Amino acid sequence: MTEIQNYLDSYNVIVVGAGLAGLGAACQLGLANENVLLLEKHNVPGGFATSFVRGRFEFEGALHMLSDIGTPDNPGALYRFFRRIGLVPEMITFKNIPEYYRTVYYDGYDEVIPYGVEKYFNKLLELFHQETEGIEIFREIAESVYDGIKYIGSKRGNVSQKEILKNHPWIARVIGLTLQDVFEKCFNNKRLISVISQPWGFLGLPPSRVSAYAFLGMTMTYLDWGGAYPVGRSHALSSAMAKCFRNLGGDIRFNAEVEEIIIEKNLVEGVRLTNGDLYKTNAVISNVNPITTSMKLINKNIIPDEYKKKIYAPAIGPSGFSVYIGLNAISEKLGLQEHETFINIDDDLDAAFESFHKISEPKYMVAACYNNIDNSISPPGTSELVLTTLQMGDQWQLIPPDQYHQIKDDYADKMLKMVEKTIIPNIRDYIEIAEVATPLTYYRYSNNFNGAIYGYHQDVLNSPMMRLKSNTPIKNLYQAGAWTNFGGGFSTSILGGRVAAGLYLKNKKEDDL
């Protein structure tokens, strides 16, 4: 046992990792006046919520848009949390994104899909008037599921299965369904299915595999509250959250990598850093993925086999492949008017997903032009475009080092060709600088297995209702992040961190009784 005098300091809670889930947990605990230490191995907070500079351009690392922000006059739940911790309006402002997305195909199909529930479904009816009955059924299902999600949220999750079945039966029905299962109850028009499904990349699985609950919840939240983007990029957001945490009385240590979470008699005792520093604590919230947390940061022999199965059984989801482009022309000159443009070869979304398992031809990607949200994001007379598709990270680990750069550049070139064929035929004439991130890049900055950006696959068995929860077999050790609770995404990661903090506070209150 580690002697108490060896500890540098003592805290009620230590949060390991200053990703968005860790920041969300830390700020939630700060609001409750807990004595908290936040430890981060890097020299800046945020995880994927970051930016980087190349030449005269500063690029957004990963964020496309935040949901559940709304407006100051009609704030969503995430905005209200930011207001409580002092982040808005004092430190950060948000730009509302005008439209949901643009969708283009190699056959010339090109449409813009709006925000707003009424506008969205009216647009679908306009584009696919022959599918009116099916679209109306789909809307009824989507709204019923969303009503159930909002009801569960209003009860802070404290609802019985019987109550859900009685008041919101569609919640129970869709938990075991894929999105394709829901579509089959409504229509089979491939283009309609493809258009509705365009943001499937935000969840990492096509309709045939993605959880209907997860997709419908995401879609309706965006339609209800719109999308928003923080002025100053996601790095400004994560930095401001860290400052809010300090203002709430919390301590942060950067360049502080945790080597061990010390457990004594199945209770959290403290943490040890790689430099040997020791901190005592009553509880740990780990923003490190659950496999690393359970099998590396603590003695894996004390983890029950049943829990090991839970953390190893789900398939690990995809990583990203991104091309960050600085262009020496304004977006209007390039013909870019929307923020998010999904580019598709055709309507075969299963084939697009299968292409993630090969380093060959991309079939689906999103092109994000941040100047159409905030024109000051790049120098005058320029614009930034970020191309992103998904790739399974394990295959990139098999590339011989002497072939890596060539394969990386070849794949980026194929993504540029998709842009040339659809939205900017002469894009190469305006490229001033380009940077490429592969799954190995995402791994290097996150230490997530295979560079996974969403944690586990967000399929039916790992939907928000079924996903690994914050509780662990170790008393007062909690998990937070994309691998747990509500899954991957910026907004859901912050919420998941808050859930982990709330669970600790609930258990502490019960222990004090």
Task: Give tens-digit pLDDT for 86-130.
Answer: 999 999 999 999 999 999 999 999 999 999 999 999 999 999 999
Mean pLDDT of the chain: 96
Average pLDDT over residues 397-420: 98
pLDDT tier, 1 (very low <50, low <70, confident <90, very high otherwise): very low
- pLDDT above 70 covers what percent of the chain? 98
CB 40 within 8 A of CB 18: yes
- Sign of the torsion angle spanned by Cα atoms 180, 185, 191, 195: negative
pLDDT in tens, 175-194: 999 999 999 999 999 999 99
pLDDT grade for 154, boundaries at 50, 70 and 90? confident
Mean per-residue pLDDT for 216-228?
98
| Weakest-pLDDT range from 2-6, 123-127, 492-496 | 2-6
Q: How confident is the model at residue 500 (pLDDT cuts 50, 70, 90)?
A: very high
User: For 75-111, b where at least 16 C-beta lie within 10 A, e where not — what string?
Assistant: bbbbbebbeebbbbeebbebbebebbbbbbbeeebee
What are residue 342's DSSP bridge partners? Answer: 103, 366
CA distance 200 to 348: 13
Domain ranges of the chain: 4-43+254-314+459-512, 116-225, 318-446
Largest CA-CA distance found in the chain, in angstroms, rounded: 75
477-479 and 278-286 as β-strands: parallel, antiparallel, unpaired?
parallel
Flag whether pLDDT at 281 surpasses 90.
yes
Helix residue ranges per DSSP H, 93-232: 117-127, 132-154, 161-167, 169-174, 179-184, 190-197, 212-225
pTM: 0.95
Q: At what angle do helices 20-31 and 490-512 cross, to 10 degrees?
A: 40
In SS3 terms, 36-95 reads as EEEECCCCCCECCCCEEEECCEEEECCCCCECCCECCCCECHHHHHHHHCCCCCCCCCEE
CA distance 317 to 450: 9
CATH topology for the 4-43+254-314+459-512 domain: FAD/NAD(P)-binding domain (3.50.50)
* 158, 179 Cβ separation under 8 angstroms: no
The three-class DSSP label of residue 265 is coil
The predicted pLDDT at position 156 comes to: 67
**CA separation for the pair 290, 470 (Å, rounded):** 10
**379 token code pair:** 């120098």
pLDDT at res. 6: 86
What are the Cα distances from residue 397, in Å, to 148, 292, 314, 409, 414?
42, 18, 20, 16, 20
Amino acid at 115: Y
